[in-house]
Amino acid sequence: MKYSIEGEPLPVVVCELDANEKMITEKGAMSWMSPNMKMETVGGGVGKMFGRMFSGESMFVNHYTAVGAPGMIAFASSFPGAIRAFEISPGRDIICQKTAFLASTEGVNFSIFFQKKVGSGLFGGEGFIMQKLSGSGVAFVEFDGYIKEYELSAGQSIVVDTGYLAAMDATCTLEIQKVPGVKNMLFGGEGVFNTVINGPGRVLLQSMPIGQMAGTLLPYLPSK
């Protein structure tokens, strides 16, 4: 499979498949394709279906196969931002924000990632459930706004405001840090908790979380 990511900040990934090669996609993610691409909607078992539902994704996924000849299929982002390709392999799992998964090659597995600490789940900004991508292959993930990447070594950490964590290596860990001082919590406008990400591993931060943007626009929208 060959691919190109084009058109940021409204990106699309165009995939060129060999004959009989297959892609796994989110429901409704396909934007355009060649006529020989065959679609099949699957659930993948009751446990996986409900896990996907809890993470904010559709319970079903679509499989697209290039039948009889090379094929082409494209997937567009649903929000201004970036599409990133991750090479997934054993020991190189990725944890990403819920609803971030766009498409992947057949060997990539989707599962639910539960925060080990309840505090991280309740106050960490991405909710109690995130997505984990494992297995072997290429996964395409969509993020909100500009993406800034950091490489943390063991013992290094970064403090992130709510919602700005886009993805991280599975080797990283999360914990919750309370904003110091009652005045800061009540009047600082930064909330009560921050998320602390500890290395080692990559951390990808997004500049325009969709929830943040929605909150900014809300006062300007008509009430009726």
Distance CA 195, CA 198 (A): 10
Q: How large a percentage of the chain has pLDDT more than 90?
A: 57
Distance CA 46, CA 218 (A): 37
Q: For residues 94 and 100, is the Cβ–Cβ distance under 8 A?
A: no
Token pair 């679609």: residue:
39
Q: Set out the domains of the chain in order of their start, with CATH numbers.
A: 2-219 (3.60.160.10)
Which pLDDT band holds residue 190 (cuts at 50, 70, 90)?
Answer: low
pTM metric for this prediction: 0.82
Which pLDDT band holds residue 139 (cuts at 50, 70, 90)?
Answer: very high
Which token pair is 152? Answer: 């943390």
What is residue 219's DSSP assignment? G
Q: Which residues pair with 28 in a beta bridge?
A: none
Q: Is 204 helix (H, G, I), strand (E, B) or coil?
A: strand
95-125 pLDDT, tens digit per residue, is 998 889 999 999 999 888 876 555 544 554 4
Q: Is 214 helix (H, G, I), strand (E, B) or coil?
A: helix
**Peptide bond before 35: cis, by omega within 30 degrees of 0?**
no
